Amino acid sequence: MSTKYVDIIIDISHEAIDRTFQYKAPAELADRIQPGMQVLIPFGLGNRLRTGYVVGISDEPSFDVTKIKEIDSIKAGGIPVEGSLIELASFIKEQYGSTMINALKTVMPVKEKVKRLTNKQVHMLLTKQEAEEYLVYYEKKHARAKLRLLKELMEDVQIPFSLVTGKLNISSSTLKAMQAEHVIEVVEEERYRDAWNGQTDVPSQNREIPNTEQQAAIDRVVTDYENGCAGTYLLKGVTGSGKTLVYMEMVEKIVAMGKQAIVLIPEIALTYQTVKRFRNRFGNRVTIINSRLSKGERYDQFEKAKNGEVSVVIGPRSALFTPFRELGIIVVDEEHETTYKSEYPPKYHAREVAIERARMTGAAVVLGSATPSVESYYHAMKGEYQLLTLEKRAQEDASLAEVSVVDLRE
């Protein structure tokens, strides 16, 4: 087996070491190391173990092999960066004057594994006749706890573990003894933390029908995507013109092609009403990501996205880095809002990074606003973005407010 040489970014935010360092992969790790993984490596004169991020693997060394150190190990609990997000981090580094390690951490809103929650159930393994025989046996032995549990299991062959140990007051020693007798088994199933308060939504059958203007915008984006020429679109629509309905129709059609969607909103406060409308359309295939979620909830939502168990993610800036593998469309609602600009290094703009991520993955980007930013409108006027307009309110009897300019000096 040929030796693998690994390019690594060290987890130290200092410009002096803002470059890759090459390490040798030991034989036992050569087949396991992948781009994006977190590893522990000896660094500096004292060979202190530091965390590093794998950004490249090669069969050829770039330095004198006698001076190349070996990777110590793969970091336990470390979450790998998706390959496409490493490339996106490189864009952020160059575009916004960041160090690569800060850019990598930006595209990793979740950096450590969190233990999944589990549901434990007690199952009966006996047939009805066998259970009746054990009832007689337990009565003779005066095994009251076993008898109590077996009677409950004869009514319902599967009981939640918490109910068994709580309401039925069955001790762990009793459970172990019954497992040894092959009367029961305790089954443990992992489950995701819910970011939507346990609410299950079924897609509504009552659907809004797009008007002519809305349908024209939808058809333009979807047709371009189907033809492999998706780009960036500025959807300029007056207040009340039904931009959210246009987003949902576009997302639905692209998701139906086996793709996934990210919908960015400027404020966490808008999350509930936006998600509610999307869940009425897509049911539980929609999830949210924002800073109000616990560490475990955020980790579980990213895992669901990575595993393809959700199709649409809604949230503010950090939702842009959802590890979707089949990204088809990114919607940036209220694209003019300043909250899309990060206040902390790297001071990236989510709108610009969304456009770059879409370019890398062949996805469409829809920037929506009633009052577009000067930059976006300028790009649309130059033909760099495609301009889509909604000039009428969605409700036919709704009219725009009258506007007058008043000179307050008078």
337 touches 300 (CB < 8 A): no
Mean pLDDT, rounded, for 176-184:
93
The pLDDT value recorded for residue 269 is 66
Is the same domain home to 94 and 164?
A: no
pLDDT digits (tens, 9 = 90+) for 341-380: 999 889 999 999 999 999 999 999 999 999 999 999 999 9
Q: Residue 26 domain-assigned?
A: yes
Domain interval for residue 154:
117-191
Is the same domain home to 149 and 26?
A: no
Between the CA atoms of 228, 234, 238 and 244, what dihedral angle is there, to the nearest 10 degrees?
50
Distance CA 118, CA 12 (A): 36
CATH of residue 345's domain is 3.40.50.300
Count CB neighbours of 349 within 10 A: 17
Is the same domain home to 297 and 319?
A: yes
75, 106, 137 - which closes a domain:
106
Any idea what DSSP says for residue 365?
A: E
pLDDT digits (tens, 9 = 90+) for 301-331: 999 999 999 999 999 999 999 999 999 999 9
Q: Residue 381 domain-assigned?
A: yes
Q: Residue 235 domain-assigned?
A: yes
Is the same domain home to 219 and 173?
A: no
Is the same domain home to 220 and 174?
A: no
Between the CA atoms of 332, 338, 340 and 341, what dihedral angle is there, to the nearest 10 degrees?
150
Least Cα distance to 360 among 388, 387, 321 occurs for 321
The model scores a pTM over 0.85: no
Is the same domain home to 244 and 351?
A: yes
pLDDT digits (tens, 9 = 90+) for 122-143: 999 999 999 999 999 999 989 9
Distance CA 48, CA 95 (A): 32
Is the same domain home to 184 and 224?
A: no
CATH of residue 34's domain is 3.40.1440.60
Q: Residue 375 domain-assigned?
A: yes
Q: Residue 336 domain-assigned?
A: yes
The pLDDT value recorded for residue 271 is 66
pLDDT digits (tens, 9 = 90+) for 76-121: 888 888 888 999 999 999 999 999 999 999 998 787 888 888 888 9
The pLDDT value recorded for residue 401 is 76
pLDDT digits (tens, 9 = 90+) for 228-277: 999 999 999 998 899 999 999 999 999 999 999 999 999 876 667 788 88
Instruction: Please list, in sequence order, all residues whose beta carbon lies within 8 angstroms of the beta carbon of residue 263, skipping any fewer than 6 positions away.
Output: 247, 251, 274, 278, 312, 313, 314, 315, 319, 330, 331, 333
Q: Label residue 205 by pLDDT band (50, 70, 90).
A: confident
The pLDDT value recorded for residue 54 is 94
Is the same domain home to 21 and 60?
A: yes
The pLDDT value recorded for residue 339 is 94
Q: Residue 203 domain-assigned?
A: no
Compute the 3-state secondary structure of the chain and give helix, strand, coil in percent, each to the nearest 5: 35, 20, 40
Q: Residue 296 domain-assigned?
A: yes
Count CB neighbours of 155 within 10 A: 7
Distance CA 96, CA 253 (A): 34
How many independent structural domains does the chain possess?
A: 3
DSSP E strands in 97-203: the ranges are 117-124, 158-160, 184-191
DSSP E strands in 129-171: the ranges are 158-160
State the average pLDDT for the chain. 91
Longest Cα separation, the chain: 101
The pLDDT value recorded for residue 198 is 55
pLDDT digits (tens, 9 = 90+) for 47-80: 999 999 999 999 999 889 889 999 999 998 888 8
What DSSP string describes 66-102?
GGPPBP-EEPTTBPPPPHHHHHHHHHHHHHHT--HHH
Is the same domain home to 68 and 130?
A: no
What percentage of residues in the chain have a pLDDT greater than 90? 69
Is the same domain home to 279 and 160?
A: no
Is the same domain home to 179 and 234?
A: no
The pLDDT value recorded for residue 113 is 83
For the purposes of burial, counting CB atoms within 10 Å of the CB of 141, is it exposed (0-12), middle (13-18) or buried (19 or more)? exposed
Q: Residue 207 domain-assigned?
A: no
Q: Label residue 197 by pLDDT band (50, 70, 90).
A: low
Which letter, b or e, does each residue of 169-190 get, where b requires 16 or more Cβ atoms within 10 Å of its Cβ?
ebeeebbeebeeeebbeeeeee
Is the same domain home to 50 and 149?
A: no
